[in-house]
Chain A
Amino acid sequence: MRSSARLRRWLLLALLWGVALLFLIPLLWMLSSSLKPTWQIFETPPRWLPDPPRWENYREALTTLPFGLYLRNTTVITLLTIVGHLLSCTLVAYAFARLRAPGRDTLFVVMLATLMLPYPVTMTPLYVIFHRLGWINTFLPLTVPAFLGSPFYIFLLRQFFLTIPRDFEDAARIDGANIVQILAWVIVPMVAPALATVTLFTFQASWNDFLAPLIYLQRPDLYTVTLGLQFFRSTYTTNWAYLMAASLTTMLPVIAVFFAAQRYFLAGISLAGIKG
């Protein structure tokens, strides 16, 4: 009886770690391929350890196209999107969580409904509108909407606001603080973890975004890393070592941020998932 329980436990662990290994293999294979000299890339059976590792692949892959420029463009867009989401979503979420007004609940349902609206439905008319505004080939279509809130993050922050007690706000109000002061000095420090979640989700989505930059940025000097990588891929289709080096480089910031701030990603998931 006991030995069969132990066997089951071993099987369970073997299965779980086996799956974990399966999840990791693509990344390890990418790293390995990115360091191979050309003649080792197509070897069968595949070799896991490049011999000798060819670090020049990175320099060569990242300088054939101006990846530094792409990184800068992506960083500008991502930072502006983060600032926009933090400012707008905090205000809107606070209002939905704390203030009473006629029509509030209806508007909240409308907001949840737009959460279900896929981006492709509005992408054609949005292009027409941004074209009218003269915003094609600028970062504006990718950043301005962020300052007008995003239903998912508003929902997430509202859920978080609902879990914190009102006492501090009430105390500040009695002390004569106005709503801006309350938000800045009382609310923001208390919801800092939720704001971190919004920051990280926005960073990840904006960094990886492809469809919107593809539509709005047609000049190569405005490309983001995803556009640059796609262009690189269609030009150097067969140089897999370069492609892996470039791919790994564009993934690295997301991987680093994920490991540094994992708990905020997880917090977002449980906030959205359980109370949804």
Chain B
Amino acid sequence: MQTPSPGRARRREAVTFYLLISPWLVGLLTFTLLPIAVSLGISFTRWDMLSPPELVGLRNYARLLDDRLFWQSLSVTARYTLMYVPTELVGGLLLALLMNQVDARGIRLLRTLYYMPSVLSGVAFVVVWMWLFHPEAGLINAGLALVGVQGPRWLVDPHTALTALWMMSLWGLGRTAVIYLAGLRGIPRELYEAAAMDGAGAWRSFVGLTLPLLTPTIFFNLVLSIIATFQTFTSAFVATNGGPLDATLFLVLYLYRKAFQEFQMGYASALAWVLFALVLAFTLLVVRSGRWWVYYEGESP
């Protein structure tokens, strides 16, 4: 018997590779690329899924520009992103820095307690918070009453509803903190000892050492939380259904209404494309900016 030539072995390896990834390739084509193409096509039509689609050119996109609710949903999503992303990044880091000061046994217990709420997303999570935010009998306003403050009406007041949803999201802060903690504990102790020998104080070694070495983790959390805010749906759908007075009408909620309650598939597809373009633009912006501020050890392609 002859041993196969290196060329043949390489060809066989390539065939095996494509065989093994074929499930994902099929999924990529049918459940990712095909839908993106289909929705571009649908976005140029008017279609209720009952009668045949009618070609309307760019009219759906033109309508978007005049649609007050579209601009409202953009503004809600943008304001929420501006509230959520910084608190998530800074709050999570602060929590992780504090946790990192405690001995190993304490860290383990605290990590469990902080992390646990973040696995409880979904409707039940939102229902619990609706009860906490109840204007008369909710625990939050009861707590405020203890210190003599008359609490707002939270989810039923257009001025506070978005803030309430943001406070709700803070319950998941532990997840970010745990990601940071993993990053912090990956920094070798010797580096701190060396910095201390050079006379660096706590602040100098934080700014000069911890922060730069943590930039990959910060970057990762930044990308994750931007993507998360663009997808906010369940909390707004269950707790406020976009209200009061459209104060919590997130982009995805508006998209859901247009597609699955009003069956304006063409218009909804145009909305989805705008969402797609926005996410793409933001991700590219963040990834590009990462070249300037993210520090990778042993930088090499």
Contact = CB atoms under 8 A, between A and B. Distances in A.
Given A95-B20, A117-B279, A124-B255, 10 more contacts: A20-B113, A29-B131, A45-B142, A100-B17, A107-B21, A122-B39, A124-B269, A148-B26, A269-B179, A272-B220
Interface SS majority for chain B: helix
A192 interface: no
Interface in B251-268: 251-252, 255-256, 259-260, 265, 268
A240 interface: yes
10 contacts: A16-B110, A23-B113, A100-B13, A110-B28, A116-B223, A120-B275, A125-B42, A210-B123, A247-B124, A272-B220
A211 B222 CA distance: 24
A26 interface: yes
Contacts of A210: 122-123, 233-234, 237-238
Contact of A29 (B49, B132, B186): B132
Contact of B17 (A45, A99, A123): A99
Interface SS majority for chain A: helix
Contacts of A82: none
Nearest to B31: A145
Interface residues of A, number: 90
Given A26-B171, A116-B283, A233 B123 contact: yes
A189 interface: no
Contacts of B193: none
B23 A92 contact: yes
A120 B255 contact: yes
B90 interface: no
Contacts of A96: 21
Contact of A229 (B123, B134, B255): B123
Interface in A122-163: 122-129, 131, 145, 147-149, 154
Nearest to B271: A124
A121 interface: yes
A250 interface: yes
Interface stretch (A49-57, A164-172, A251-259): A251-259
A111 B24 contact: yes
